[in-house]
C-alpha cells in the first residue's frame, strides 16, 4: 500500500454559479479605510522554493494584500508578527529571512499604521500550492475531479476553486525526505440557503480506505462546539454537510478540523484544517442611526459649502454590492429659491449646497428627505430606507441697523441726571436678540464734556439718550448730537453700512429755578471761647446760580444750632453769638462746634440750599482744676513706706491751661497743717500724708487742699478730700474692725446690731413654727359651723352615725341594691319600670372607690355628685320614674297608703328663710291672696 493521504474536496456545483454571478456584480466600492479583507489565504507556487526553503527578500506570491487609508497611503507601514515573512508597501508578501520554511501552513498577523492614529489589522495564511499529480496506475481521477478542472480552465477570472485532489506528506522508509502539505482553499457557503438540508459541501477521502476501514469526523465551532451541529460528516463516506441555513451577520466564518481514524480509533492521517466562509446575501436594508438629523448652514453660503453628514449602516458585507450604500435626496421643503438647493454625496452621505441664495430672512429652515439604498444604489435590486434632515439657516450680520429717522429731538431740565431725554428707534432684519441684531449706539460729536450717553433697550433695541452729568441752562441752552448705530457683531464680508445708521439729535435744556448755594461749604472759622453774647463772628452768605433771570432775593435762616449759641441775619447772613461759646460743652466735638444754615430764594417754586459753619473754639483758662481722688484711707500711725495718698487734679481745659499743678494745704483750720503734709512728686502728682510722730484716732477726716493750674491767669480751686484713718496690719492695709471703727461705729453699737439680728431671726423662726402648727390644726379639727351663720342652706353635719333615735327604726335595706337579681329575672313579662336595670349582659365597670369623709361637707357632696355622674349603670337624673309596679317580695308598704296631712290653711312663708334654692317653692306656695 502506498504511503500518503489523498483528500478529495468536491465543491457543490451551485457554488460556481453563485460566484460567477457575484463576480459580475463586483464594482468599485466607496473608499473605506482599511484592508480589503480580514483574512488572506496566499498560495505559494513551488517555483519560488529552493528545496523546501524560500530565498530571502523573494516575493512569495503574485497575490498582494490590498490596503487603502483613503489618504494616498502616504507614510503607511506594515508590521508582521512573524519574523520570517513581511509585507512591502505595495502589498506583496516576501521572505524576511534566508531559508524561511513552509513545512506547514504559516499564519501571522499584519498591522498597518501611518501618520493617523488608527491602526488596522488582518490575518495572512501562507501555504504551498500543489502541482498536478502524475498519473499513477490504479488511481484515476473521478468524474467530479474532471469537471472541477474543466471549470477552472473555463473561468480563470473566477475565484479559485478547491483542488480536487490534495496530497499529504507521509513518512517513508529510507532517506527520502518528507513532502510538504497541500493547502485546502476555504469552502464558501452562501447564507440563507433554502436547502434542502442537510446540504453536502465537500467529500473527504483517504487513499488508505482501500486497505482499511476509515472513520471520518470533524471538530470545531459549528461541529462539536457551540453552535453545535451546524456541520456534520458521514463517518464512512466522508461527505460533509451543512445542516441549516447560515447567517453571515451572526457568524461569517468557521474553522473546522477533519480527522481520519481506523476502527480502533487510531489516527491514520494528520488532521486537516477546513475554513468555511459564509457568502453574503443582500438580506439587510440600510439603517440610519437617527430618524431625524439636524444640521445648519450660514445664510449667503457659497455653492459647495458643507452642511451636514448622514450615515446609514448596512449589516451586509461592505466589500460586496450587498453592503455598498448610496444616498440621494428625494425631496426638499420649501422649494425656495429653487427646488434643489442641496445635494448629497452618493457614497459618503455629505450634504452640501449647490446654489447660492440662502437667506434666513426669507427661509429659515429646510426639510430634506434622504434615501439610502444598497446594491450601489440600484433601485431595482437594492433595499432602501429614508431619514429626515432638518437644515437650519443660521443668521449672519448681512443687514445693517437703520434708524427710522435722520433727526430726533428731546429736552432735559437742568441739573437732572439719569433722565431719558430721547428715544432712537432702529430697524434690523437679522435674528432678534442675537449679536447680529443687538444695537450699539455712540455719540460721535456734540457732547465734548460727556453729559449724555446712549443706552440700548434690551427688549426693543431702541437707543435711550440719558443724562449722566447735570447740564446748566446758563452754560448751554441746547446740544446738537450726532449718533451712530452699529451691531454688536461686525457686518458680514461685503456688506456696507447704511446711511440710515447715523442721525442728528437736538437736546434742549429747560431752565429751572436753581437753589442758592454757599460758595464755601462747609465754612471753617477760628474763634476764642467765652466771647460775650452779641459778638459778630462771620458772614455766611449764599449765591444764586440763576444769573440770566431777574435778580432774586435770598433769605437766611437757622436750620440746626444744637446749643442755640448763634443767630443769623435774614438779609445778609451775618452770624452773631447769642450766648457764651464754651469749648467744654458736650455739643463741641474735637474743639469744633457745627451749625447748619438755610438760604432760600423767592423763585417759583422757591428753592433752598444749606450750608454748614464749623467754628473751631480756641481754649482759654476758664476751668479750675479739681482734686482727685475725693476719698482715701491711711494708717493711723506714720509709716515711711505705706503712709500717704497720691493725689492729682483734673482740668477741663487744654494745654497750656492745665498742669503742672500746685498742691497746698488750706490755712484753715490750723489743725490741717499741724497734722498733714503734702509732698510734690512731679508736675501732676503730689503725696498727702500724716506728719511724723502724729497719731490720729480712727475716723474720717476732711482735709482741704488748694490746687492751682498753670494757665495764663491761673485758676485755683479749694477741694476737700475725705481721708479715713484706720488701724493697719503689718502690710499697711486697714483691718476689718479698724475699718468699721474708722467709719464711726463703737463696740457697743456693733454688739447692738448683732443682738437685733439674732432677735429678728428668732422671730422669723417662731412665725414659721406657728404657721405649720396652724395648718396641722386646720386639717384635723372638725367642721364646727353655727347653723344660723351658715350660708350653705343650713346643711348640718353630725358627728354621730345616723340622724337620731327615730332614724334607727327605719329599714334601710329597701334602699340597697339586692345582691341577687333572681326575683327580677323570674318576673313575668309585662310592663317594667323604666328605672330598673336592664336584664342584659353589661360591661364590667370599675367599682366606685370609697371616698373618705372630707372635712368640708361641700367637698363631700361634690365628690358624691362626680361619682354618680361618672357611673354608667345609674339611670339618667331627668328620666321619668313610673311606680305602677312595685315588684314582689318588698317589705315596704304601698305608696298609695301615704296621705298628705297638709291643709289649705298652712303657712308656707318659712320657705323664704331657707335660702335661694327654695325660692321657687316659696313663690309657688307662699303667694298668699295674690295667687
217-237 residue pLDDT tens: 999 999 999 998 899 999 999
Contacts (Cβ under 8 Å, ≥6 apart) of 105: 125, 126, 127, 181, 183, 273
Portion of the chain with pLDDT greater than 70, in percent = 73
Q: Judge whether residue 572 has pLDDT over 70.
A: yes
**Beta strand residue intervals within 446-513, DSSP E:** 452-456, 463-467, 478-487, 502-510
Tell me the per-residue pLDDT of 105-115, one tens digit each, with 9 for 90 and over: 788 888 888 87
| 303, pLDDT greater than 80 | yes
More confident site: 378 or 180 = 378
Looking at residue 230, its pLDDT comes to: 93
| pLDDT value at residue 661 | 85
Mean pLDDT of 765-770: 92
Percentage, residues of the chain above pLDDT 90: 28
Calpha distance 129→166 (Å, rounded): 10
Helices (H), 407-523: none
- Secondary structure percentages of the chain, helix, strand, coil, to 5: 15, 35, 55
Most confident of 106-120, 482-496, 623-637, 644-658: 482-496
The predicted model gives 66-84 an average pLDDT of 84
pLDDT of residue 907 exceeding 90: no
How far is CA 593 from each of CA 521, 557, 655, 766, rounded to the nearest angstrom?
15, 18, 19, 68
Residue 607 · residue 640 · CB < 8 Å = no
- DSSP for 757-776, please give it: HHHHHHHHHHHHHHHHHHHH
Q: What is the pLDDT of residue 460?
A: 93
Higher pLDDT, 102 or 680: 680
Q: What is the pLDDT of residue 845?
A: 47
The residues that bridge with 276 in the sheet, in sequence order, are 187, 254
Locate the DSSP E strands across 214-291.
215-220, 231-233, 239-242, 253-261, 272-279, 287-288
User: What's the grid cell of residue 484?
Assistant: 451712530
- CA 849 to chain CA centroid, Å, is 66
Residue 327 has pLDDT above 90, yes or no: yes
Rounded (10°) CA dihedral 821, 823, 826, 828 = -120
pLDDT (average), residues 367-387: 94
Residue showing cell 441726571 = 417
Please compute the mean of the pLDDT values over residues 613-621 and round it to a whole number: 85
Whether the pLDDT of residue 54 is over 50: the answer is yes
Q: Between 725 and 546, whose confidence is greater?
A: 725
Which whole number is the average pLDDT over 690-709? 82
Please give, one letter per residue, the 3-state secondary structure of 671-733. Answer: HHHHHEEEEECCCCCEEEEECCCCCCCCEEEEEEEEEECCCCCCCEEEEEEEEEEECECCCCC
Q: Which three cell numbers stand for residue 756?
A: 437685733
Assess whether pLDDT exceeds 90 at residue 604: no
Q: What is the pLDDT of residues 239-274, one digit of tens each?
A: 999 999 999 999 999 999 999 999 999 999 899 999
**Model confidence at 2: pLDDT above 70:** no
Please check the confidence at residue 396 and state whether its pLDDT lies above 70: yes
pLDDT classification of 294: cutoffs 50, 70, 90: very high
Residue 818: pLDDT over 70: no
Tell me what the mean pLDDT of segment 629-655 comes to: 77
pLDDT(394) > 90: yes
Q: d(Cα 454, Cα 468) in Å, to the nearest integer?
A: 10
- pTM exceeds cut of 0.85: no
pLDDT at 309: 95
**Higher-pLDDT residue of 218, 541:** 218
- Predicted confidence (pLDDT) at residue 793 exceeds the cutoff of 70: no
Q: Which of 160-164, 237-241, 909-913 has the lowest mean pLDDT?
A: 160-164
Q: Between residues 853 and 484, which one has the greater pLDDT?
A: 484
Check pLDDT > 90 for residue 884: no
Integer Cα distance of 9 and 3 in angstroms: 20
Residues 736-767: b if buried by 16+ CB within 10 A, e if exposed: eebbbbbeeeeeeeeeeeeeeeeeeeeeeeee
**Section 657-672 average pLDDT:** 83
Question: What is the sign of the dihedral through the CA atoms of 721, 727, 730 and 731?
Answer: negative
Q: How far apart are CA 113 and CA 120, in angstroms?
A: 7
Q: What is the pLDDT of residue 638?
A: 59
pLDDT, the chain, mean = 77
Helices (H) and strands (E) in the chain, counts: 8, 54
Pick the more confident residue, 655 or 369: 369
**Which stretch, 1-5, 390-394, 397-401, 804-808, has highest mean pLDDT?**
390-394
Query: Is residue 917's pLDDT more than 60?
Result: yes
What is the C-alpha to C-alpha distance for residues 649 and 49, in angstroms, rounded to an integer? 130
Whether 833 shows a pLDDT value over 70: the answer reads no
663: Cβ contacts below 8 Å, ≥ 6 apart = 647, 649, 678, 680, 686, 705, 706, 707
Using the predicted structure, report yes or no on whether residue 889 has a pLDDT greater than 70.
Answer: no
Q: How far is CA 909 from CA 913, 917, 924, 926, 928, in A?
A: 8, 14, 11, 5, 9
142 pLDDT band (50/70/90 cuts)? very low
pLDDT on residue 178? 41
Phi then psi for 173, rounded to 5 degrees? -75, 160
Amino acid at each position: 500500500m502506498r504511503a500518503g493521504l489523498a483528500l478529495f474536496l468536491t465543491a457543490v456545483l451551485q457554488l460556481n454559479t453563485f460566484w460567477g454571478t457575484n463576480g459580475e456584480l463586483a464594482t468599485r466600492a466607496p473608499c473605506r479605510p482599511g484592508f480589503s479583507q480580514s483574512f488572506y489565504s496566499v498560495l505559494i507556487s513551488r517555483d519560488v522554493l529552493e528545496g523546501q526553503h524560500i530565498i530571502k527578500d523573494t516575493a512569495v506570491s503574485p497575490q498582494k494584500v490590498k490596503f487603502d487609508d483613503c489618504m494616498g497611503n502616504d507614510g503607511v507601514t506594515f508590521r508582521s508578527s512573524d519574523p520570517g515573512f513581511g509585507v512591502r508597501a505595495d502589498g506583496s508578501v516576501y521572505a524576511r529571512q534566508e531559508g524561511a520554511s513552509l513545512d506547514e501552513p504559516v499564519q501571522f498577523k499584519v498591522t498597518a499604521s501611518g501618520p493617523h492614529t488608527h491602526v488596522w489589522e488582518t490575518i495572512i495564511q501562507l501555504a504551498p500550492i500543489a502541482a498536478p499529480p502524475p498519473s499513477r496506475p490504479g488511481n484515476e481521477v473521478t468524474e467530479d475531479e474532471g469537471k472541477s478542472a474543466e471549470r477552472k480552465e473555463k473561468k480563470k477570472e473566477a475565484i479559485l476553486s478547491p483542488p480536487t485532489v490534495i496530497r499529504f506528506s507521509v513518512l517513508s522508509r529510507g532517506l527520502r525526505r518528507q513532502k510538504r502539505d497541500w493547502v485546502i482553499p476555504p469552502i464558501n457557503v452562501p447564507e440563507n440557503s433554502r436547502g434542502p438540508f442537510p446540504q453536502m459541501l465537500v467529500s473527504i477521502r483517504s487513499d488508505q480506505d482501500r486497505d482499511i476501514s476509515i472513520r471520518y469526523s470533524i471538530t470545531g465551532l459549528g461541529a462539536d462546539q457551540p453552535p453545535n451541529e451546524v456541520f456534520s460528516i458521514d463517518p464512512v463516506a466522508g461527505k460533509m454537510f451543512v445542516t441549516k441555513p447560515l447567517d453571515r451577520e451572526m457568524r461569517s466564518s468557521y474553522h473546522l478540523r477533519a480527522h481520519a481514524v481506523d476502527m480502533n480509533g487510531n489516527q491514520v492521517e494528520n488532521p486537516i484544517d477546513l475554513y468555511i466562509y459564509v457568502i453574503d446575501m443582500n438580506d439587510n436594508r440600510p439603517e440610519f442611526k437617527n430618524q431625524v438629523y439636524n444640521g445648519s448652514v450660514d445664510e449667503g453660503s457659497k455653492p459647495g459649502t458643507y452642511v451636514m453628514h448622514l450615515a446609514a449602516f448596512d449589516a451586509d458585507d461592505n466589500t460586496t454590492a450587498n453592503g455598498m450604500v448610496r444616498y440621494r435626496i428625494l425631496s426638499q421643503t420649501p422649494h425656495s429659491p429653487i427646488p434643489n438647493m442641496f445635494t448629497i454625496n452618493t457614497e459618503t452621505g455629505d450634504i452640501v449646497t449647490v446654489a447660492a441664495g440662502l437667506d434666513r430672512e426669507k427661509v429659515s429652515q429646510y426639510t430634506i428627505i434622504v434615501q439610502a439604498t444598497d446594491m450601489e444604489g440600484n433601485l431595482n435590486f437594492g433595499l432602501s430606507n429614508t431619514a429626515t434632515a432638518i437644515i437650519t439657516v443660521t443668521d449672519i450680520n448681512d443687514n445693517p441697523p437703520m434708524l427710522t429717522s435722520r433727526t430726533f429731538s428731546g429736552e432735559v431740565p437742568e441739573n437732572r441726571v439719569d433722565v431719558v431725554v430721547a428715544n432712537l428707534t432702529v430697524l434690523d432684519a437679522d435674528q432678534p436678540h442675537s449679536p447680529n441684531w443687538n444695537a450699539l449706539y455712540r455719540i460721535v460729536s456734540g457732547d465734548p464734556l460727556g453729559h449724555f450717553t446712549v443706552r440700548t433697550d434690551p427688549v426693543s433695541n431702541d437707543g435711550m439718550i440719558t443724562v449722566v452729568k447735570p447740564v446748566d441752562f446758563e452754560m448751554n441752552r441746547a446740544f446738537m448730537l450726532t449718533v451712530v448705530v452699529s451691531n454688536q457683531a461686525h457686518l458680514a464680508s461685503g456688506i456696507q453700512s447704511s446711511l440710515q445708521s447715523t442721525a442728528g439729535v437736538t437736546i434742549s435744556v429747560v431752565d429751572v429755578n436753581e437753589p442758592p448755594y454757599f460758595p464755601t461749604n462747609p465754612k471753617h472759622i477760628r474763634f476764642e471761647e467765652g466771647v460775650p453774647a452779641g459778638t459778630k463772628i462771620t458772614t455766611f452768605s449764599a449765591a444764586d446760580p440763576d444769573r440770566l433771570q431777574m435778580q432774586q432775593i435770598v433769605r437766611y435762616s437757622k436750620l440746626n444750632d444744637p446749643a442755640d449759641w448763634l443767630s443769623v441775619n435774614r438779609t445778609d447772613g451775618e452770624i452773631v453769638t447769642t450766648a457764651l461759646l464754651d469749648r467744654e460743652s458736650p455739643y463741641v466735638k474735637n474743639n469744633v462746634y457745627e451749625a447748619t444754615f438755610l438760604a432760600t430764594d423767592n423763585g417759583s417754586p422757591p428753592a433752598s440750599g444749606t450750608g454748614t459753619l464749623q467754628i473751631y473754639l480756641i481754649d482759654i483758662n476758664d476751668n479750675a482744676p479739681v482734686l482727685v481722688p475725693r476719698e482715701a484711707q491711711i494708717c493711723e500711725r506714720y509709716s515711711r513706706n505705706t503712709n500717704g495718698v497720691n493725689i492729682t487734679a483734673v482740668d477741663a481745659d487744654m494745654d497750656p491751661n492745665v498742669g503742672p499743678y500746685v498742691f497746698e494745704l488750706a490755712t484753715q483750720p490750723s489743725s490741717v497743717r499741724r497734722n498733714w503734709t503734702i509732698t510734690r512728686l512731679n508736675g501732676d502728682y503730689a503725696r498727702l500724708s500724716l506728719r511724723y510722730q502724729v497719731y490720729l484716732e480712727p475716723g474720717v477726716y476732711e482735709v482741704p487742699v488748694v490746687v492751682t493750674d498753670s494757665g495764663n491767669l491761673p485758676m485755683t480751686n479749694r477741694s476737700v478730700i475725705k481721708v479715713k484713718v484706720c488701724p493697719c496690719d503689718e502690710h499697711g492695709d486697714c483691718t476689718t474692725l479698724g475699718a468699721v471703727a474708722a467709719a464711726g461705729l463703737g463696740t457697743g453699737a456693733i454688739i447692738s446690731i448683732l443682738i437685733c439680728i439674732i432677735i429678728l431671726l428668732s422671730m422669723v423662726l417662731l412665725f414659721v413654727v406657728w404657721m405649720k402648727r396652724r395648718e396641722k390644726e386646720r386639717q384635723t379639727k372638725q367642721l364646727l359651723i353655727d347653723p344660723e351663720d351658715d350660708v350653705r342652706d343650713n346643711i348640718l353635719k353630725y358627728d354621730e352615725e345616723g340622724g337620731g333615735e327615730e332614724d334607727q327604726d327605719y329599714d334601710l335595706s329597701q334602699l340597697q341594691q339586692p345582691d341577687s337579681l333572681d326575683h327580677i329575672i323570674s318576673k313575668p313579662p309585662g310592663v317594667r319600670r323604666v328605672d330598673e336595670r336592664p336584664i342584659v349582659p353589661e360591661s364590667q365597670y370599675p367599682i366606685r372607690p370609697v371616698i373618705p369623709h372630707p372635712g368640708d361637707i361641700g367637698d363631700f357632696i361634690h365628690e358624691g355628685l362626680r361619682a354618680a355622674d361618672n357611673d354608667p349603670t345609674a339611670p339618667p337624673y331627668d328620666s321619668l320614674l313610673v311606680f305602677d309596679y312595685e315588684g314582689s317580695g318588698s317589705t315596704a308598704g304601698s305608696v298609695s297608703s301615704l296621705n298628705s296631712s297638709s291643709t289649705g290653711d298652712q303657712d308656707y312663708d318659712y320657705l323664704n328663710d331657707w335660702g335661694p334654692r327654695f325660692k321657687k317653692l316659696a313663690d309657688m306656695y307662699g303667694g298668699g291672696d295674690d295667687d
